Chains A and B, each alone.
Chain A
Amino acid sequence: MSGNLAQAYAPLLIHLLVALGLSAILLILSSLIGQHRPTREKMQPYECGITPVGDAREPFDVKFYLVAMVFILFDVEAVFLYPWAYVFRELRWFGFTEMLLYILILLAGYVYLWKKGALDWNPSKTQRDRQT
């Protein structure tokens, strides 16, 4: 069994070794051959060519967590679509209506989020009420 296993995974192992080796060689070569003239501009973190503003490690608005959470929820709920798509033809109308019901329930959640202002980028009305 272990012999077969080694054989079956040999290409994968070789691929891994080549990838690791090549990147290691390139990194070492460039640090050996290249010239190093660090300036202040060069040492700045790269932010798509825009001059960076402040430290990247500062705490940011809790709003981002909310959006991230909502994104993860809706993203993961979509996982049920995959098995459904796989047997879609066999399930016919039943599968279709079931999925429609499921999407409708998700839609209800979406409408709720929307009306609650969870998707508002600017502080929503409820939040402003809270602050005052």
Chain B
Amino acid sequence: MFPPRQDVLRLMPEIILSLSGILLMLIEPFLSGARRTLIVTLAALGSGLALVSTIYPATLPGTAFSGLLRIDGFSVFVHVVVEAVAFLVIIGSADYLDREKIQHGEYYALVLFATVGMCVMAGAAELMTAFVGLETSSISTYILAGYRRDVPRSNESAMKYFLLGSFATAFFLYGIALLYGATGTTQLARMTFPTTPGRERLLDLGLGLMLVGLAFKIAAAPFQLWTPDVYEGAPTPVTALMASGPKAAAFALLLRILATVGAAGTFWFWALWVSAALTMFVGNLAAIAQSNVKRMLAYSSISHAGYILVALAAAAASDQVELGVAAVLYYLAVYALMKLGAFIFVSQLGGESERHMEIDDFRGLAVRQPVAAACFALFLLSLLGLPVTSGFLGKFYIFNAALASRLIWLAVLLAINTVIAAFYYLRVIVVMYMRQPNQTWPPAPMPWAVTFVLSIAAAGTFYLGLFPGRVMALATQAALSLPGR
């Protein structure tokens, strides 16, 4: 009755993440005095080890634990993305937590638990597993959003995230229940079109409700209202995590359902189309009006969800999902790196209590901190999609997938939005490079940990922009590893 040894090996990243999370939680109350180094090292080690141990699932594809998990190229790709995000966020958080005097083991434990949830979502072949993964990651992030307990903004952010997030989960669950009623199973692969008359309606309704629930999680219009508030109020390193990790995992779940359940593609297509168009415009147009950089980046991440939805619609439209899926995966990797870099940079520059978040505070930063400013400019240009940066190639692949599925209009809208977006990204760069430095406050020098995270994100952004071959090959392979309709 014991599960075969290889199943345990396939679950190695999750096991390591959970164990290091529990360990961190347990040692926290026992430690006193000089404990910061120990906690941060342990957390970084845990996430790093998990990243390395992804080699096990990578070499052992197949279904594990009697069909609960499906380990394939797709799940491994998403695993690597979210684990790398966790690793970088952990390293990038340490100095921020010191500054805000909230350096606790629990913070890192929660980041690790959230990552476990995302990993489980990536590999879920069954809706119960998907739900447990989704909730593990969501509940941990609710707490993290309110981690600055004494700051009203952070409280409010956590409250909004919690209320809307659990509302979304409830919808998602109701959808699952209807789907279960229609097909008689929670296994994605066995969800065929029901033969009993009258149950197709149930299937459609269930799929619709599930889409609504997941649309909340990825901040797709018209369910994006919570995003700017939550992102702005949460501690900035947590915003970095929220913008890159859970989003990638939710997209992975959407993609897996789309690729596995035959009815999903046809039923979801128009919803995805409309949502993609709306999300791009809502995000970009609102971002122009922002004067707070953190809030602007929040709106920008809404618009990026829109771009990814274009690729999703492309995958739903054609019989060959590979092109669209590969584009989504590539963009997720690209997007995670640049968004994480941008938010970690802002978290450091904001200074104590995140006081300096206005665009005006960034005046003349290129003179004061040339390297960090160059990194931030690179992330912004990549978010905009300038050639040579990874953002350009990511958009190019999405564009390509949209054209291959004959979604000409969506492709046009994507191009228009890129032009709109140029407006607000370039404004920040102009302020950083062409204005006189602000005399009233000198920004603190970048600690080495933050510099490390920024350089990795910058190097990744360059690498993915100049040498896409390898990663794109992996993404295509991952897309092909999905069961297919």
Shortest distance from the beta carbon of B481 to any chain A beta carbon, whole Å: 29
CB interface residues, A 82-132, toward B, < 8 Å: 91-95, 97, 105, 108-109, 111-112, 115-116
Shortest distance from the beta carbon of B186 to any chain A beta carbon, whole Å: 16
User: Chain B: interface residue count, which band?
Assistant: under 10
Query: Which of B1, B2, B26 sits near A112, CB closer than 8 Å?
Result: B26
**What chain B residues lie within 8 Å of A95 (beta carbons)?**
1
B26 near A111 with CB under 8 A, answer: yes
From B150, which residue of chain A is reached at the shortest CB distance? A130
Given A112-B29, A115-B30, A116-B29, the answer on whether A91 and B1 have CB atoms closer than 8 Å is: yes
Residue B25 CB within 8 A of the other chain: yes
1/0 per position for A57-94, CB-CB distance to B under 8 A? 00000000000000000000000000000000001111
From A91, which residue of chain B is reached at the shortest CB distance? B1
A108 near B25 with CB under 8 A, answer: yes
Given A115-B29, A115-B30, A116-B29, the answer on whether A105 and B1 have CB atoms closer than 8 Å is: no
Q: How far is the CA of A6 from the CA of B171 in the complex (A)?
A: 34
Shortest distance from the beta carbon of A110 to any chain B beta carbon, whole Å: 11
Size of interface on A: residues with Cβ below 8 Å to B: 13
From B18, which residue of chain A is reached at the shortest CB distance? A105
Shortest distance from the beta carbon of B120 to any chain A beta carbon, whole Å: 15
Residue B22 CB within 8 A of the other chain: yes
B26 near A108 with CB under 8 A, answer: yes
User: What are 22 A-B pairs at a CB distance below 8 A?
Assistant: A91-B1, A92-B1, A93-B1, A93-B2, A94-B1, A94-B2, A94-B3, A95-B1, A97-B2, A105-B22, A108-B22, A108-B25, A108-B26, A109-B25, A111-B26, A112-B25, A112-B26, A112-B28, A112-B29, A115-B29, A115-B30, A116-B29
Closest 4 CB pairs of A and B: A115-B29, A94-B1, A94-B2, A116-B29
Can you name 18 extra interface pairs (CB under 8 A) apart from A93-B1, A108-B25? A91-B1, A92-B1, A93-B2, A94-B1, A94-B2, A94-B3, A95-B1, A97-B2, A105-B22, A108-B22, A108-B26, A112-B25, A112-B26, A112-B28, A112-B29, A115-B29, A115-B30, A116-B29
